[in-house]
Amino acid sequence: MPRFDGSEYNFLVGKSMLPTIETGFKVKSAPVEYREIRIGDIVIIKYKNKYICHRIVGKFRIGEEVYFLERGDNVPRLNCVPADKIVSKVTEVERLDKAILTSDHFKIPAYKLIKYKALSVFYCFAQRLKLLLFGKDYNSFVSWLKPRFIKICAFLC
Within 13 A of 133's CA, how many CA atoms are on the CB side? 11
Domains defined for the chain, CATH in brackets: 9-156 (2.10.109.10)
- pLDDT for the residue numbered 157: 42
Write the burial class of residue 83 (CB in 10 Å: 0-12 exposed, 13-18 middle, 19+ buried).
middle
Which of 99, 142, 116 is CA-nearest to residue 55?
Answer: 116
Residue 36 has pLDDT above 90, yes or no: yes
The model carries a pTM of 0.77
Residue 16's contacts (CB-CB under 8 Å, 6 or more residues apart) are 52, 53, 54, 72, 73, 74, 75
- Residue 55 CB burial class (10 angstroms; 0-12, 13-18, ≥19): buried
53 pLDDT above the threshold of 80? yes
pLDDT for residue 141 is more than 80:
no
Most confident of 29-33, 62-66, 132-136, 139-143: 29-33
Strand partners, 30: 89
Q: Is the pLDDT of residue 88 over 60?
A: yes
pLDDT at 147: 65
Confidence grade of residue 152 (pLDDT, cut at 50, 70, 90): low
Q: State yes or no: pLDDT of 132 exceeds 80.
A: no
The residue ranking higher by pLDDT, 68 or 11, is: 68
**Predicted confidence (pLDDT) at residue 142 exceeds the cutoff of 60:** no
pLDDT digits 0-9 by tens, 104-131: 888 888 888 888 888 888 887 877 777 7
- Please state the rounded mean pLDDT for residues 16-29: 90
